[in-house]
Structure 1
């Protein structure tokens, strides 16, 4: 029986010069038992991308980074992926920080062999993310017996120390979150369209906050993913890279879900195996879900309108809301759970972090206590400054 190819060309629709296809790459593994049948770099990379075919958002992100590297390596260095060295990746990192004009020219098309792959220089965080994705690719190819080693494994992780001590800043404190909720209650609801928009926005914001989901996870969540066990509600989530997890769902959020469904003429609670999305389409169609981009834009509008309400009385808070996005709600949820004393191990599971150090950046309460004790002690001390002359 002929099985379908595990990595179709549609996953990576580019071509490379035959002389640079990687068959004779200097970093190719020799004399090992290979776990894949790929003979060229494109075949191997397509197989890696196929592992993420079930996660469209992740697939798009990973494909973008690998296309950038493949085109740069073959065009700028005249090397295939499987011949790149640590020195080559140092050059690539510098290139990402300052791509030349011929790579960012707005006149270049967005598709095709000579397309524009960069809008401009990548910020440090974006460079770190890009190299992390590429390192994951190389690790995969090493484990598959296709490459002899991962040149990026030698990269010094300069962000490790900072990651242990920094605190996430892209989140809303409790007061700003209440402003967001209150602002929506003032939205017009005189027409059916206004009422639909209000109910949809109200549900989207609460769903994202109470579950700490990413926009793509929320967009693809189904009603049937919410299940009850031992009298408690749980949401089954398929996250980045296809990783699965479960998030606790409060009775309060279930009441909001019932309200949202009832508005669209659905039973308050989903039935067994119901395939309707957790967030319905704009028209309330139970057979269609919103896209991740639509979820993102709804949140941006809510934040923008809340910022406008706050502008006169609290310009700083308004500026914060104007910058906020869906991911801020994920950060806010984690920060507020930490503030409430939730065990950090539980927060790690709720956010589905691989490392508990990542979760640690949400522990603002410890900093608040340290500040209060330090400043309190200083203010309690009597002044030792000499008296001013009379």
Structure 2
């Protein structure tokens, strides 16, 4: 089985351990794991744990962002199993997984050593202890891995199926990774002060990318793969068809401002202002090479990071706190920002849910900050006594 290879132009996918297992002793590769099911029952061709993990990852090959995230979690567990526990992944027990959960919250020093590089074979796998939310996310991903391998007949049992379920009455925490309206306006103004040494066309592309992401709230992979043919005019209104997370399709409104920005961007590339029938050009165009080639999600991510870094430099002397926030911002911050601005404007929560394609309204409710603002004002600024 060939390993699942990610886009080599994306620096965040430099994960080599699953593809370089020559150093692994035979008793740790999982071909004889103590939790292996009889080979005759297995629906996978996988002979060992790495091949089994790669079979699971192959299910997400059409979703690059999910693939990167899931591979990172699987690789962390696999390396912890063979290096820290001295066990094959297919030999892990429920007790081992409890130990791993504790390890995530307090990794060994060499796993977070800041002297190690962030990429490459000898890199550090953690920047520090994971937060409770990140631990839950990691275990949720791994539960999917073990569930898949159990259902496929590769494992005899799922050690994470015994995990105690927490109460579901707790409301999701409010989203904090977003930019308020004045700071977002500053980011857009910063693009108009684009450095002269940047490649020709990069300013127009940066301007369009930021406006496009904010207008639609798309995930980075969705924006990177969007094409002109995905735009649809219905009853005088433009919609963008999106095939999103879990291969679920949906339509996102494209307002007049967004379509005007798109028209200006397309004209800068010598294209018609509005897409013509059969137009397959990407909505985010490359600066060179074939026009039909979509940028990678990683490239779109880097474009937004470049914008935020530039805005941060311009903001540093005036407001270091804002500058620090801009340095942290990324494509997903723009998605959160778009949803928050829609909620602040009074958009019905059900409409925002459809725009973001959330399965649960509870998830969307994290973008409601107006009630908190009113509560803060009412508490800290009581009315004057007559």
Q: 1:31 & 1:111 partners in 2: Cα distance?
A: 34
Q: 1:329 & 1:318 partners in 2: Cα distance?
A: 16
Matches within 5 A, 1:55-204: 55-103=63-111, 115-116=122-123, 118-124=125-131, 125-156=133-164, 164-187=171-194, 196-204=201-209
Q: How many residues align?
A: 370
Q: 2:205 & 2:127 partners in 1: Cα distance?
A: 36
Stretch of structure 1 that moved more, 308-317 or 277-286: 308-317
Q: 2:199 & 2:333 partners in 1: Cα distance?
A: 25
1:339 alignment counterpart: 344
TM-superposition CA deviations, 1:203-249 (whole Å, max 9, x none): 01101111112223222222222222333222222334444332221
Whether 1:208 and 2:213 are equivalent positions in the alignment is yes
Following TM superposition, by how much is the alpha carbon of 1:119 offset from its aligned partner in structure 2, in angstroms? Answer: 4.7
Give structure 2 stretches of 5+ with no counterpart. 6-17
Whether 1:380 and 2:384 are equivalent positions in the alignment is yes
TM-superposition CA deviations, 1:271-307 (whole Å, max 9, x none): 3333221111134852333333332232233233334
1:388 alignment counterpart: none
1:360 alignment counterpart: 365
Q: 1:188 & 1:92 partners in 2: Cα distance?
A: 47
Matches within 5 A, 1:264-343: 264-283=269-288, 286-343=291-348
Task: Say if 2:70 and 2:141, in contact at 8 Å, map to a contact too.
Answer: yes
Q: 1:109 & 1:368 partners in 2: Cα distance?
A: 39
2:8 alignment counterpart: none
Q: 2:261 & 2:251 partners in 1: Cα distance?
A: 19
Which structure has the larger Rg?
Answer: 1
Once superposed, what is the RMSD of the aligned Cα atoms? 3.3
Q: 1:137 & 1:128 partners in 2: Cα distance?
A: 14
TM-superposition CA deviations, 1:29-88 (whole Å, max 9, x none): 579976545554334322211111112232232222212222321333233323322210
Following TM superposition, by how much is the alpha carbon of 1:183 offset from its aligned partner in structure 2, in angstroms? Answer: 3.0
Provide TM-score, normalisation by structure 1.
Answer: 0.81
TM-superposition CA deviations, 1:131-168 (whole Å, max 9, x none): 22111111222333443443224435669666x15211
Are the structure 2 counterparts of residues 381 and 89 from structure 1 closer, same or farther at C-alpha, using a change threshold of 3 Å? farther
2:3 alignment counterpart: 9
Following TM superposition, by how much is the alpha carbon of 1:311 offset from its aligned partner in structure 2, in angstroms? Answer: 4.2
Q: 1:240 & 1:44 partners in 2: Cα distance?
A: 23
Give structure 1 stretches of 5+ with no counterpart. 1-6, 383-390
Stretch of structure 1 that moved more, 311-320 or 132-141: 311-320
User: Helix, strand or coil: the match of 1:265?
Assistant: coil
